[in-house]
A and B are shown apart, each in its own frame.
Chain A
Amino acid sequence: MSATEISLPEAMDEQRSAARIPKSRLKSVWLGVLLPLLLALLWEASVRTGLTSGRLMPPPSRIITTLWNLWQSGELTTHIAATTLRVFSGFALGAIIGTLFGALTGYSLLARRLLDPSLQALRAIPSIAWVPLFILWLGIFEESKVALIAVGVFFPVYLGVSGAVLSVDRKIVEVGRIFRLSGFELVRRILLPAVLPSYIIALRSGLGLGWMFVVAAEFMGASEGLGYLLVDGQQLGKPDQILAAIITFAIIGKLSDSLLAAIAAPFLRWEDRFGREA
């Protein structure tokens, strides 16, 4: 690949490096947290004033204390690490296989006719239905959990990639043909960059499903992980712990998604589109 062909940030001119105004960015963040903050304050006030007991729905201050204690004792880190590792492994596995199958069925009609019907049939099965089978096959430890998450991640990635490759504009593919690109070069220089935006979206929805499925996986029986905190909180009647785990899920789920989006952003600068991220 030559220097002129890479669309890296260096290729930008002054215009583009003039960054977005941070002020408006800050404002949009404030707008985003306004509603949850208001609700939390209201709830806190209603418990403090004795309007509600807060026994089943603990006030924000109690949840924060619980979070803080879990953090202090190092437990929270252990649970986050365990869950994140599972999501990451399952995501990597599901995304890689999904990408391969998606690229194959998108590119080759034969592969599509051969594989797609079976995969679509498998997709129709609610993924949680696999749980008993995975436990029988892979045991109750990490393997079955990672497998379940991978299944969850696989389908959105597979569908996204396959659909994206299929819908690459024929006109742009012809540009590759007129310059006599080989099959492999066509994939590398035309198809891959063309599907990149939809690919990122597919990965992001896959990651989202990964976070969903990790909970199911950890309900299967786990001695650590945020899902374990949920089950444990229910069994011991600790709603504050449940809510603490839920909030942690929300935060790291959002963080991992933003991370993925941020990693992808420099490669998508060329996009000419209507909307902007918040």
Chain B
Amino acid sequence: MLQVNAIGKIYQNGARALENVTLNVEDGEILAVVGGSGCGKSTLLRLISGLDRATTGTVSVDGVTISEPHPYIGLVFQEPRLLPWLSVAGNVGFGLDEPDTTRKAQRIGEALEKVGLSRYGARWPKELSGGQAQRAALARALVTRPRVLLLDEPFSALDAFTRAELQDHLLDLWNESRPTLVLVTHDIEEALFLADRVAVMRPHPGRIAQAFDITLPRRRDRTSPEFEAVKRDVLRSLNSTLALHKIAS
């Protein structure tokens, strides 16, 4: 279980990015975190991943306190952040600790296949489209088989078409090994399509305003009346927490 215990983050410039955030995420759960920009979503993921230290509070996975990047935890950044001097396959294998080169190549091949990039392993990152690059970044995080995968607005730079496709893809991948997912997004539909639970954040200081359990059976139909109904509920609640204008923007 991923436990976030009352963490807070005050940056050196005094910005109170997070205050007293507590979350428990069950193994295999998909948690979506929504909120407008600047309400501390990225900060939250950076603290969970161990890239940054929390000013107060602790993060633990299965009781192990996280204070620096940990092999249990993978992170997909908002941008692909592929290393331009490595081939796509080289990028996917970048964090893979596998001394046996044939095994390594095999695992890279599998990961590429899972994200639909089998034919692109030999390419340079500069030869990929935005969606392909984001897939490669996903494969790079997945290939190390993290127990917890953090995704920071991974699809936000993509067109609606590619985004829907990758959301489907992400569910397929999640279905295979059921890692815990924490997905940051500003797209409520994306959150409702993917998540078991949606946490809404508010800024100044960043905190969790409200959380909704989403019990609709998967694979959810974005156009079904049930989906629309849940969406309306969430939006209405958001409105009453005064966060709506932030999220809609």
**A-side interface residues toward B, CB under 8 Å?**
2-7, 11-13, 171-172, 174-175, 177-180, 189-190, 193-194, 196, 269-272
Contacts and interface: CB of A to CB of B under 8 A. Distances in A.
Interface of B: 49, 51, 68-71, 74-75, 77, 79, 81, 83-87, 89-90, 93-95, 101, 104-105, 108, 121-126, 144
Contact of A4 (B69, B90, B123): B90
Contacts of B144: 179
A193 B94 contact: no
Contacts of A179: 69, 94-95, 144
Contacts of A171: 77, 79, 81
Best-surrounded residue of B70, B90, B104 (most CB of chain A within 10 A) = B90
B124 A270 contact: yes
B147 to A, nearest CB: 15
Given A5-B90, A177-B51, A270 B122 contact: no
Given A179-B94, A270-B124, A271-B84, A4 B108 contact: yes
B86 A7 contact: yes
A190 B69 contact: no
A180 B71 contact: yes
A196 B86 CA distance: 13
B79 A272 contact: no
Contact of B94 (A13, A175, A196): A175
30 contacts: A2-B104, A4-B87, A4-B89, A4-B121, A5-B94, A7-B85, A7-B87, A7-B90, A11-B87, A12-B122, A13-B122, A13-B123, A171-B79, A172-B83, A175-B81, A175-B83, A177-B69, A178-B51, A178-B75, A178-B95, A179-B69, A180-B69, A180-B70, A190-B83, A194-B85, A270-B85, A270-B124, A270-B125, A271-B84, A271-B126
Best-surrounded residue of A6, A12, A175 (most CB of chain B within 10 A) = A175
A17 B18 CA distance: 51
B93 A4 contact: yes
B115 to A, nearest CB: 16
Contacts of B123: 13
Contact of A196 (B85, B90, B122): B85
The 10 closest A-B pairs by CB, nearest first: A179-B95, A272-B126, A193-B85, A4-B89, A5-B90, A270-B85, A4-B90, A270-B124, A2-B101, A178-B69
B130 to A, nearest CB: 14
Given A2-B104, A178-B49, A180-B71, 16 more contacts: A4-B87, A4-B89, A4-B90, A4-B93, A4-B104, A5-B93, A7-B85, A13-B122, A13-B123, A177-B51, A178-B74, A178-B95, A179-B95, A180-B69, A193-B85, A272-B124
B51 A174 contact: yes
A207 B174 CA distance: 54
* Chain B contact residues, majority secondary structure: loop
Nearest to A2: B101
* Chain A contact residues, majority secondary structure: helix
B105 A4 contact: yes
A207 to B, nearest CB: 23
Contacts of B104: 2, 4
A118 B85 CA distance: 34
B101 to A, nearest CB: 5
Contacts of A269: 124
A194 B86 CA distance: 11
Nearest to B95: A179
B120 to A, nearest CB: 10
A149 to B, nearest CB: 31
A199 to B, nearest CB: 12
A104 B22 CA distance: 42
Contacts of A13: 122-123
A5 B96 CA distance: 11
A207 B77 CA distance: 40
A177 to B, nearest CB: 6
A190 to B, nearest CB: 7
Given A4-B93, A177-B51, A179-B95, A172 B85 contact: no
A39 to B, nearest CB: 41
A5 B121 CA distance: 11
A209 to B, nearest CB: 27
Nearest to A194: B85
Contacts of B94: 5, 175, 179, 189
A12 B123 CA distance: 7
A272 B128 CA distance: 12
Best-surrounded residue of A4, A193, A269 (most CB of chain B within 10 A) = A4
Nearest to B68: A180
Given A179-B69, A196-B85, A269-B124, A3 B49 contact: no
A190 B83 CA distance: 8
A237 to B, nearest CB: 55
